[in-house]
Structure 1
Amino acid sequence: MARRMPVLVDTDPGQDDAVALLLAMALPDRFDLLAVTTVAGNVPVDLTTANALRIADLAGRPEVPVHRGAEAPLVLPLETAEFVSGPDGLAGAGLPPPRRAAAPGHAVKAIVRILRAAPEPVTLCPLGPLTNIALALRIAPDILPRIERIVLMGGALGLGNITPAAEFNVYVDPHAAAVVFGCGRPITMLGLNATLGAMARHDQIEAFRALGTATGRAVHGMLTRPRPGGLGTEGHPMHDPCVIGFLLWPELFTGRDCHVEIETGSGPLRGRSTVDWHGRLKRPANAHVIDRIEAGPLFDRMIAAVSVLP
C-alpha cells in the first residue's frame, strides 16, 4: 500500500479554499489529514472556522479536527475580502450551519502539538494568510525539523490582485509571510502568476453539477456565483486547489528554485513578493516557484477525485 502523506491544511475558506479542502478530504488513501486550522483572511476567523466545519460536514469527514486560529495579522489591522467571497465567505455553496463545534485549543498550539507528536515530518498546506504558521514557528522553533515542506498559495511572480504589487494572502499579513519564507524549510510557492492559469472552464464547472451529489452542487454554486469585475468570463480561476493538486500530481506543474523576498513596509509595495527568477541577486533560493500549470488535466482529475464525496 502506498504511503499516506501526513498533511495539515491552514486555511481561510473562501470558495477556492473550500474546493481545496474537498479535494484533500476526498482522498484518505493519499492523505493523512491531521487537522484543518483556520485563520482570518477572506472573512473573519469565526466565519472561516464555521466554513471549514461546513466543508468537513459536506465531505462526510467529521473525524478531521478543525481548530480556530489567529483573528488578526501579526502587526497590521485585518483586511478581508467579502467583496469577492460574499458576506459569509462561501457565497453560492448553499450549505447549512456546521453540525459540530471547533476542536478545543488554538490553532497555533494545535500545529505545534501535532508536529511534535507526528511520527514523521508533516507537509504544511497554507491556503490563506500565513499568520498561524509564523506564530507556530516563532513560539516553537523546535518544530522546524518536523516540517517536511510547506506548499502554499500566495505571492506572485508579477502583478498582484489586491493591489498592483501584492497578492491577497501575502498582503494581509506580510510580516507572517516574511517569517515563513525565511524559516529555512523547503517551500513550494504557487503564486498568482501560475494559479491564474489554472482556469476551470465552463464545461468543467458544469461537470461538478453533473456529478449529481451535494458536493457537486455546492461546488457548482460557488463557481457560478456572481463575482466582481467581470471575473470568470472564460471560466473560474481556482487558486487554492492548486496546492493539493501539486501534492497529488506534481507532473502537471513546472517551476524553478528562486530567492523570494517579502516587502513588509506600509507603502504601495506592501506585501509584494519579489521573486529573483533569473538569479540576479546571487542569493540562495528559499522557494520553488511554480510558473506553469497544466490546467485541463488538473481539473479533469480534480472532478474525478471529488466524485466519490457525498
Structure 2
Amino acid sequence: MVARPLIIDCDPGHDDAVALLLAVGSPHVDLRAVTTTFGNCSVEDATRNALQILTLAHATDIPVARGAEGSIDGKSTLGNYVHGASGLDGPPMPEPGFDVSPETATELLRRTIESSTEPVSIAATGPITNVAQLLLDHPAVKDGIHEIVFMGGSTERGNHTPTAEFNTFADPEALDLVLGSGLPVRMVGLNLTHQALATPAVVERMAAMDHVVGRTCAAWMGFFGASYNRVWEFAAPPVHDPCTIAGLIDPGLIAWRDAFVAVELDGRWTRGTTVVDLHQRYPDQQPNVQVAMSLDAPRYWDLVLSAIDRVGQRS
C-alpha cells in the first residue's frame, strides 16, 4: 500500500486538530508538512496549536511553517468566538516539542511539492490564502499538485453570515484564484460537514480510549460543542475539517457531484458566499469542482476514531 503524499494547510481549531490526528494516524496518507494561517484564531496561535497537536501525537518530525496573518487583500477575520481565545481552548496541551520551520508557509509548500516524486494532495481546512499565494508566487508547482480539497462554502446556508461559510468569507479572493487555477479541486462544504456530528455516542467512544489522545479529543468536543450550541443551537457539534482527510483516504465515504462553483467577491450581504450550480443554470460555465454532497457518517466516525486510537496507542 502506497500512502498518498499530503500537506495540510490549517488554522487549528478543534476540528483541524482532529483532522491532523486523522492524517497522522492513517496508513493511507503520508503527511509531509503542515502550514498555518489565520482563521479560527491568529496565525501565531494557530502555529502554536499545530506544534502542540503534533507533539501530543508524537509526530514532531512533520515540519510546520507559519503562513498568512490575513487575507490577500490585507484584512483579518477571526473565528475565535467558536474555538476560544487561543483557537484551541479546553483541556491542557503539552508544550511544543519542536520548533516552527524558519521557512514561510509558501516556501514549505513549494519545497515539499517540488521534492516529491509523485503529485501531492493539499487539504486546506482554513482560509485558503496560503495556497492562493503559492499559486501566485510559484505557478510552476501546479504540475506537482494532485488535487486541492478545501473545507469551505456550502450548497446551502452559511455560518459566519447567513449565506457565507467562515473560511470562504475570510478570503474569497484567494478562493476565487484557486477555483480558477485549472487544478482538480474538491469542495467539502457545510452541507456535508453538518452530517459529521460528534454525538454523545461518538464523544463517549473518544473518552473511553485508554490514552490521553482520546480523552483530549473528547474534551475538545465538549468545548466545541458548547460553542456550537450557544451560537447555532446545534445539539451536537459538526466536526468539519476531518471530512477533507476522510475524503482523500476513502472517497467512497462521500458522494460527490461535479459542478461549476464561484465565490461572491462583492455583494452587500453575500460576500464570501459560494455559488454552486448543481443544475447547470449557467450552461456556459463548465464544472470546475467536485462538490461533497452526502456523508456515510458511521463509516466516517469509524475511520476517524480508529486513527485517533492508533495515534494514542503508539504515543
C-alpha change, 1:237 and 1:228, in structure 2 (3 Å) is: closer
Q: CA deviation at 1:190?
A: 0.4
Does 55-64 or 243-252 show the bigger shift? 243-252
- Per the alignment, residue 227 of structure 2 pairs with 227
Q: Give the % identical residues.
A: 36
**Residue 284 in structure 1 maps to residue 286 in structure 2:** yes
Q: CA deviation at 1:294?
A: 1.1
CA distance in 2, matches of 1:190, 1:12: 16
Contact 2:195 2:238 in 1 (8 A): yes
- Per the alignment, residue 240 of structure 1 pairs with 241
Q: Which runs of 4+ in 1 moved over 3 A?
A: 228-234
- Per the alignment, residue 270 of structure 2 pairs with 269
- Any unmatched runs of 5+ in structure 2? none
Q: CA deviation at 1:99?
A: 2.2
Contact 1:204 1:300 in 2 (8 A): no
- Per the alignment, residue 14 of structure 1 pairs with 13
Does 195-204 or 47-56 show the bigger shift? 195-204
Does 101-110 or 230-239 show the bigger shift? 230-239
Contact 1:38 1:49 in 2 (8 A): yes
Contact 2:15 2:239 in 1 (8 A): yes
- Per the alignment, residue 306 of structure 1 pairs with 308
2:140 to 123, 139, 142: 142
C-alpha change, 1:228 and 1:303, in structure 2 (3 Å) is: closer
CA distance in 2, matches of 1:97, 1:232: 33
Contact 1:33 1:64 in 2 (8 A): yes
Q: CA deviation at 1:233?
A: 4.9
The aligned runs of 1:72-91 (5 Å cut-off) are: 72-91=70-89
Q: CA deviation at 1:229?
A: 4.4
1:104 alignment partner, SS class: coil
Contact 1:76 1:173 in 2 (8 A): no
CA distance in 1, matches of 2:265, 2:244: 24
- Per the alignment, residue 186 of structure 2 pairs with 188
Contact 1:259 1:287 in 2 (8 A): yes
- Any unmatched runs of 5+ in structure 1? none
Contact 1:44 1:71 in 2 (8 A): yes
CA distance in 1, matches of 2:268, 2:128: 20
| RMSD, aligned CA | 1.3
1:111 alignment partner, SS class: helix
**TM-score, normalised by the number of residues in structure 1:** 0.96
2:305 alignment partner, SS class: helix
CA distance in 2, matches of 1:296, 1:191: 19
2:146 alignment partner, SS class: strand
The aligned runs of 1:1-310 (5 Å cut-off) are: 2-27=1-26, 29-225=27-223, 226-230=226-230, 233-265=234-266, 267-282=268-283, 283-310=285-312
Contact 1:195 1:239 in 2 (8 A): yes
1:288 alignment partner, SS class: strand
Contact 2:195 2:295 in 1 (8 A): yes
**TM-score, normalised by the number of residues in structure 2:** 0.95
C-alpha change, 1:266 and 1:75, in structure 2 (3 Å) is: farther
Does 257-266 or 128-137 show the bigger shift? 257-266
Q: CA deviation at 1:95?
A: 0.7
Q: CA deviation at 1:182?
A: 0.8
Task: Give deviations 1:179-209, integer Å, cap 9, x for gaps.
Answer: 1111111111000011111112111111101
Contact 2:179 2:185 in 1 (8 A): yes
Letter in structure 2 aligned against 1:136:
L
CA distance in 2, matches of 1:82, 1:290: 26
Letter in structure 1 aligned against 2:193:
T
Contact 2:259 2:286 in 1 (8 A): yes
Contact 1:94 1:221 in 2 (8 A): no
C-alpha change, 1:232 and 1:26, in structure 2 (3 Å) is: farther
CA distance in 2, matches of 1:173, 1:267: 16
Letter in structure 2 aligned against 1:304:
S
CA distance in 1, matches of 2:35, 2:233: 29
CA distance in 1, matches of 2:46, 2:276: 29
2:6 alignment partner, SS class: strand
Aligned residues: 308
Does 258-267 or 286-295 show the bigger shift? 258-267
CA distance in 2, matches of 1:151, 1:82: 23
Letter in structure 2 aligned against 1:245:
A
